[in-house]
Amino acid sequence: MSPNFVAPPNGVATGYAITDPKDYLNFQKTEYKLEPLEDDRVTVAVECCGVCGSDHHTITGGWGSWETKFVVTGHEVVGRVVELGKNVTQFQIGQRVGVGAQVGSCGTCKWCKNDNENYCPEPVHGYNTLWPDKSEHQGGYSTHIRAQELFVFPLPEEIPSVEAASMLCGGLTTYSPLVRNNIGPGSKVGVVGLGGLGHYAVLFGVALGAEVTVFSRSDAKKADALKMGATRFVATTPGFEKDLFREFDLIICAASGTNLPIDEYLTTLDVGKKFVFVGLPDEGLKEVKSQALIWGVGLSGSHIGCRTEALSMLKLAAEKKIKPWINVIPMAQAADAIKSIEDGSVRYRTILTTDLL
């Protein structure tokens, strides 16, 4: 039965909610009032939604206590436009769109105006978050979400919905540092950690024309990395950096663990180049000495991406026929997806398709 993409009755959505971080696998169908449909907002009926590591961090309380009473996670949404705020001009009812890990920003700050709305100091993220008027925003393990028009992206027809979904956070989070660091034909890119984010760093790095090397703690994912287009796979055993002196134009670190051999990685960067974190280890960077930095290399971070990057990423994905490695299951099985993140078995992203509409 194909989903019934209609507006939420009386602005009420139904989602798979977690009500207690101690019971974080117990998704319960829950009805809740959406935030108001302000003039610049769009309502999207959810067709499918990717499962991101952030979802696990949030529902387990790993990133701290919640802002909202319960949490409906999901910030990699593909769906149909079913309502338009009255100032929304670029979408039509019924149009297929994507929404990622940010649904709002102030719209007036310097960063909102210079293609850095992903760095707006007053962001509204994909779930477990409040709008300035304190109304709650929940995510895409649900029938509907609302978002500012700026954070709703038209999708190229060529990309199936389940393949587009996880590009909207996982894809964009790796695409943004690639393009901000001018990666293109001839560039050499390192990717640390081959999970959901890392696999996108490989796919988009290759699509941009770079030679990609994957670093991982063991050889377990070597075959996958090469199949994704990486030209080299390096298991980070002691001394791994010796043959890679100043090799890379960029290293994207998608590993969530601490105790990364950062000083060793820094020696593999060319002068003036960066090691960019796209993940958020909870602990500090204990092992970093500025002696390693003094050779003109840097440590940096990156947070999602901006709209113009999202649109160019989707265009590239359509042109290059990028296929993410995904596992598609019904939304009612969200707990299984969370478990596969926890035990590391996910290869490489789970997409939940709606069973609520």
Nearest to its own copies of 303, 347 (CB atom): 303
Nearer to its own copies, 141 or 277 (CB): 277
Strands 144-148, 298-301: pairing is unpaired
How many of the other CB atoms lie within 10 Å of CB of 122? 14
**What track of x and - describes contact with its own copies for positions 168 through 187 (by CB under 8 A)?**
------------x-------
Asked if residue 121 binds its own copies (CB under 8 A), the reply is yes
Measured from the CB atom, the residue of 26 and 114 that comes closer to its own copies is 114
65 binds its own copies, rule: CB under 8 A:
no
Cα separation values, 281 from 86, 94, 257, 306, Å: 41, 40, 6, 23
Which region among 16-24, 131-139, 140-148, 296-304 touches its own copies (by CB under 8 A)?
A: 296-304
Question: 32 has which bridge partners?
Answer: 13
| 287 binding its own copies? (CB under 8 A) | yes
Separation of alpha carbons 253 and 145, rounded Å: 30
Alpha-carbon dihedral sign for residues 273, 275, 277, 281 = negative
* Cβ neighbour number for residue 353 with a 10 Å cutoff: 19
Instruction: Name the one range near its own copies by CB under 8 A: 141-149, 155-163, 204-212, 272-280.
Output: 272-280
Q: How far is CA 175 from the centre of its chain?
A: 10
Question: From the CB of 255, what's the least distance to its own copies, in Å?
Answer: 11
Q: How many residues bind its own copies (CB under 8 A)?
A: 35
Q: Tell whether residue 293 is a contact of its own copies (CB under 8 A).
A: yes
Q: Which of 9, 257, 301, 330 binds its own copies (CB under 8 A)?
A: 301
Told to check if 283 binds its own copies by CB under 8 A, we report yes
- Spatial CA neighbour of 24 closest among 342, 354, 353: 342
Q: Which is nearer to its own copies, 10 or 291 (CB)?
A: 291
| Residue 297 binds its own copies (CB under 8 A) | yes
For residue 4, count other CB atoms closer than 10 A to its CB. Answer: 10
- Is the distance from CB of 303 to CB of 119 less than 8 angstroms? yes
Q: Which of 271, 343, 344, 345 binds its own copies (CB under 8 A)?
A: 271
Please, how many CA atoms are within 13 Å of residue 212, restricted to the half-sphere of its CB?
A: 30
- Please give the span between the terminal C-alpha atoms of the chain, in angstroms, as a whole number: 10
Can you read off the two tokens belonging to residue 265? 């990685």
184-243 positions binding its own copies, by CB under 8 A: none
> Minimum CB separation from its own copies for residue 23, in Å?
27
- The least distance separating its own copies from the CB of residue 269, rounded to whole angstroms, comes to 10
Instruction: State the DSSP code for 207.
Output: H
Evaluate the CA torsion angle 347, 206, 184, 272 in order and state its sign: positive
Which of 303, 320, 339, 347 binds its own copies (CB under 8 A)? It is 303
- In whole angstroms, give the CA distance from residue 62 to residue 352: 22
132 binds its own copies (CB under 8 A): no
Q: What are phi and psi of 356, to 5 degrees?
A: -105, -20
Q: What are phi and psi of 165, to 5 degrees?
A: -50, -60
Residues with Cβ within 8 Å of 64's Cβ and at least 6 positions away in sequence, in order, are: none
The CB-of-280 to its own copies minimum distance in angstroms stands at 6
The nearer residue to its own copies, 87 or 308, going by C-beta atoms, is 308
Of these, 165, 277, 314, 331, which contacts its own copies (CB under 8 A)? Answer: 277
To its own copies, the closest distance from the beta carbon of 122 in angstroms equals 12
Residue 320, interface with its own copies (CB under 8 A)? no
291 binds its own copies (CB under 8 A): yes
Instruction: Kindly tell me which of 93 and 280 has the beta carbon lying closer to its own copies.
Output: 280
For residue 284, state whether it binds its own copies (rule: CB under 8 A). yes
Tokens of 259: 């105790």
Contacting positions for its own copies (CB under 8 A): 111, 116, 119, 121, 180, 245-246, 271-272, 274, 277, 279-281, 283-303
